[in-house]
A and B are shown apart, each in its own frame.
Chain A
Amino acid sequence: MLRKIWAITKKNILMYYLKGPVLIFGVLFPLFLFLAFYIGRSLSAAFLIPGLLAMTLFFTSTSVSPVIMPWETQMKTLERLISCPITVRTMIFGDILASFIFGIIISIVPVVIGMVMGVGVKAPLTLGAAIIIGAFAFSSLGLLFSTIPTDLVSNVMMLSNLVKFPLIFISGIFIPISDLPDWGVAVASLSPLTYFTDIARFSIEGYAFYPLYLDFLLLIASAVLFLVLAVKLHERTLVRRF
Chain B
Amino acid sequence: MEAIVAEDLSKSFNGLKAVDRVSFSVHEGEIFGFLGPNGAGKTTTVRILTGVIEPDSGKASVLGFDVVKEKLKAREKIGVVPEAANAYPDLSVWKNMMLTAALYGIERKKAEAKADELLRVFGISERKDSRVKTLSKGMKQRLMLSMALVSDPELLFLDEPTSGLDVASARIIREKIMELSREGRTIFLTSHNMEEVSMLCDRVGIINHGRIVAVERPGDLRDRIGGSLAVEVEFDRKVDLTGFPDVKARGNRYVLYTTDAHDTICSIVDFASRNGLRITGLNLHAPSLEDVFLKLTGGESDA
Chain A residues close to B by CB (< 8 Å): 3-4, 6-8, 10-11, 14-15, 75-77, 79-87, 239, 242
Contact = CB atoms under 8 A, between A and B. Distances in A.
Question: Most chain-B CB neighbours within 10 Å: which of A14, A84, A85?
Answer: A84
A83 B80 contact: yes
Nearest to A16: B90
Interface string B143-158: 0100100000000000
A81 B99 CA distance: 10
A86 B105 CA distance: 10
Contacts of A86: 72, 103
Given A77-B86, A79-B82, A85 B52 contact: no
A11 B53 CA distance: 24
Given A82-B52, A242-B53, A4 B87 contact: no
Leading 8 A-B pairs by shortest Cβ distance: A7-B102, A83-B80, A84-B103, A85-B75, A80-B85, A85-B76, A79-B82, A76-B86
B59 to A, nearest CB: 17
A231 B99 CA distance: 22
Contacts, number: 71
Interface string B39-80: 000000001001111100000000000000000110110101
A242 B52 contact: yes
Contact of B89 (A75, A79, A82, A239): A75
Contacts of B85: 76-77, 79-80
A239 B72 CA distance: 16
A87 B72 contact: yes
B53 A4 contact: no
Nearest to A10: B99
A3 B147 CA distance: 18
A6 B99 CA distance: 10
Interface in B76-107: 76, 78, 80, 82, 84-91, 95, 99-100, 102-105
B102 A14 contact: no
Given A83-B51, A84-B104, A86-B72, 4 more contacts: A79-B52, A85-B76, A85-B104, A239-B52
Contacts of B54: 239
Contacts of A81: 103
B105 A80 contact: no
Contacts of B90: 14-15
A76 B102 contact: no
Contacts of A4: 102-103, 105
Contacts of B47: 79, 242
8 contacts: A4-B105, A11-B91, A75-B86, A75-B89, A79-B85, A84-B100, A239-B53, A242-B52
A58 B268 CA distance: 78
A80 B159 CA distance: 12
A83 B105 contact: no
Given A7-B99, A242-B52, A80 B87 contact: yes
Contacts of B75: 83-85
Contacts of A15: 88, 90-91
Contact of B80 (A10, A80, A242): A80
Question: Most chain-B CB neighbours within 10 Å: which of A11, A77, A80, A87?
Answer: A80
Given A80-B87, A83-B75, A14 B52 contact: no
Contacts of B53: 239, 242
A14 B92 CA distance: 10
A77 B87 CA distance: 6
Contacts of B80: 80, 83
Contacts of A6: 102
